[in-house]
Amino acid sequence: MKKLCMLVVLTLSFAVTAAAEDWHNVSIIDTQCATKSAANPDAHKRSCALACSKSGFGIIDQSGNYLRFDDKGNQQAIKLLESSNEQDHLRVNVSGKKEGNVIHVESLKLM
């Protein structure tokens, strides 16, 4: 019984400490515009992303899926977009842990 309990604890511990993933050269977009801009996310304007920032941010990954950022990632995204001179073609590198369709952002950098 002790071995079984130990196995369960180790299995659960492994699931909690999942490794970080990286997404390179992916489009960042606000959640409000994600569906309508999915076909051409590079055309989405920075000014619109900032205007819709209350909806949160995420990325369109290489497979065309929208993955939302956690609160930390949303704050980082706003700072990056506010400091950028790019008007569109907003690409980023993201590192974080994916849980469902949410990325718990560890780092976020504009390309």
Neighbours of 76 (CB within 10 A): 20
Q: Are 50 and 39 in contact (CB under 8 A)?
A: no
| CA–CA separation, 11 and 101 (whole Å) | 22
What pLDDT shows up at residue 5? 45
* Token pair for 66: 């929208």
Strands 21-30 and 66-69: unpaired
Record the pTM.
0.81
Q: Between the CA of residue 35 and those of 23, 41, 55, 67, 105, what are the distances in Å? A: 20, 10, 13, 12, 21
**Lowest-pLDDT range of 14-18, 49-53, 67-71, 96-100:** 14-18
Say yes or no to pLDDT of 95 above 80: yes
- Residues 65-75 have a mean pLDDT of 97
| CA–CA separation, 73 and 34 (whole Å) | 16
